[in-house]
Amino acid sequence: MHKHLRLALATASAVALTGGLLTFSAVTATAADSVHQPTADFNGDGFGDVAYSAGYATVGGKRGAGQIVALYGSASGVTSTKRTTISQNTTGVPGSAETDDGFGWVSAYGDYNGDGFDDLAVSAPGEDVDGDTDGGTVLIAWGSANGLSGATTVKDPATSSHDYWGTALASGDFDGDGKEDLAVGSTSNRVYVFKGGISKSGTYGGRYSFTTDIRSGKGTGTLVLTAGDVNGDKRTDLVVDGFETDSDWGYNTNWYVPGTASGLSASAAQELKRGVITGIGDINGDGFGDIVTGQDWDPSKDGSEPSVPESSTGGKVHVVYGSADGPGTTVAVTQDSGNVPGSSERGDFFGSELSLGDVNGDGRTDLVVGSPGENLGGVVNTGAVTVLYGAESGLNTTTGYQYFAQSTAGVPGSDETEDRFGGDVKLTDVTGDGRADLTVGAYGENDFNGSVVYLPSDGTKITTTGSRSLAPSAVGVSTDSRPFFGANAAN
């Protein structure tokens, strides 16, 4: 999932906009198609890698210029030493660090040039381009045996028709040709797709675009893109999030756009449940990707303004089970469902982040849900995460669940005000054992310097044994001005 740039860079709280909610978001887990896999491997060593943003980091004295940190997996998981930290001042990366560019806020991985190494698409949505204020830029940092190095710009084909090029990114094989494609969003409702075979010289296999029924314009457009194979045809489908056009308030909504032999088909799009952050994974093991969307906002407290339709106190997630016909049966899960840990309280933001991956190796994807607004022991917005496991009958909310906060024994750190633990979550097999491990972003840690916490799988569940916390200063990120390290993970 991703928190896009228009997330109030200088504040820690989520921003309400025309009745919808913009968050510091990002997660995406996918049901694997024939090309895009649920684990990135930038250096081809067989261990999964993750990339986390420090999107408001100071670089070369420019506040808000932004960085992104690729953490390379190993038999002992991710560490602060085995990594690459990239900014626009990094050798071989186009452009230069500038104030409020937001480089790294949004990213997506994929092997775009087909060389066997995953690459990282990264945007700087706030970059001024050739006099176009906040025009935005997207580039691809290239994978190799030594990790990520060098980058190539993915040129905006319509600079005058939108701003914030790269507010949303997603990768997948949308036409089933065996090559990884890249989808790019902006303040427009038009999504551009660059077909696989993208080269270091900037050429690509083709390009097309489509629109969905969401609003265009400043503060709107494509907010989040999520890729995965929902109908099991080995072509990647796409979920497009934005503000709806058919109400005065313009609440968030999502559109499912299926992949076809000719690419993503907007004519066959279906409207889904509301929410901002989405992941796709096969929770019940039936071969179809299930769409999980977080709807984390509370109903109106005093009735002074309308509530977001279907909103629930404390937040919830919608699980839309996939089928050969696409999206099917839908269920909702809150902290009051079954035996889900905690209880639904205003401001918990349950569902503001989520990720899917197979923690126990049973062939079904499991779900991690962030609640960065959780209050524990009187500590406000310290945050927590919940792990719910997949089963043949669907998401198991009765048994086997897990709950982690920084006050949990073995988890690094402690519960502190505004830590926002769970501000992002990512399930990725970083130890190479075939089981998804958990990394958790706490972007509010130490006055919004942020941190990333690693919690490994022991083969059957997430454990605190071997856990560690990675601070921004340890991974080459300046703490000059609230970098928000850990706010977004590459999808």
Q: Dump pLDDT digits (tens) for 164-181.
A: 999 999 999 999 999 999
Task: Write down the pLDDT at residue 31.
Answer: 58
Residue 244: exposure state from Cβ atoms within 10 A (0-12, 13-18, ≥19): buried
Contacts of 213 (CB under 8 A, 6+ apart): 189, 244, 245, 246, 255, 269, 271
pLDDT tens-place string over residues 181-199: 999 999 999 999 999 999 9
Helix (H, G, I), strand (E, B) or coil at 161: helix
On the question of pLDDT at 249 being above 70, the answer is yes
The half-sphere exposure of 480 on its side-chain side, counting CA atoms within 13 A, is: 15
Q: How far apart are the first and last CA of the chain?
A: 6
Element (H, E) at 260: strand 259-260
| Residue pLDDT, tens place only, 264-287 | 999 999 999 999 999 999 999 999
Backbone angles phi, psi at 446, to 5 degrees: 55, 60
**Residue 365 tokens, joined:** 């994807």
CB 276 within 8 A of CB 241: yes
Q: What is the pLDDT of residue 251?
A: 86
pLDDT given at position 38: 83
Q: What does the pLDDT read at residue 19?
A: 31
Would you say residue 302 has pLDDT above 60?
A: yes
| pLDDT on residue 308 | 87
Predicted confidence (pLDDT) at residue 361 exceeds the cutoff of 50: yes
Q: What is the pTM of this model?
A: 0.93
Other C-beta atoms closer than 10 Å to the C-beta of 37 total 16
Calpha distance 454→469 (Å, rounded):
6
pLDDT value at residue 148: 98
Q: Report the distance separating Cα 254 and Cα 358, nearest Å.
A: 25
Judged on CB neighbours under 10 Å (0-12, 13-18, 19+), 208 is middle
Q: Which two tokens stand for residue 462?
A: 């997430």
Task: Tell me how far apart the alpha carbons of residues 43 and 78 are, in angstroms, rounded to a whole number.
Answer: 14
Output 16 or 465, whichever has higher pLDDT.
465
Cβ distance 73 to 454 under 8 Å? no
Q: What local confidence, expressed as pLDDT, does residue 7 receive?
A: 35
For the residues 465-477, what does the mean pLDDT come to?
98
The Cα–Cα gap between 421 and 453 comes to 9
293 in Cβ contact with 280 (< 8 Å): no
For residues 67 and 85, is the Cβ–Cβ distance under 8 A? yes
**How many residues does this entry show for the chain?**
491
Nearest Cα to 140, choosing from 221, 196, 98? 196
Nearest to 438 by CA among 110, 1, 77: 77
For 106-111, what is the mean pLDDT?
98
Do 454 and 467 form a contact (C-beta atoms < 8 A)? yes
Q: Measured at the alpha carbon of residue 355, what is the angle toward residues 352 and 359, in degrees to the nearest 5? A: 140
**pLDDT interval class at 259 (50, 70, 90):** very high
Residue 33 — pLDDT band, cuts 50, 70, 90?
A: low
Mean per-residue pLDDT for 133-161?
Answer: 96
Q: How far is CA 122 from the centre of its chain?
A: 12
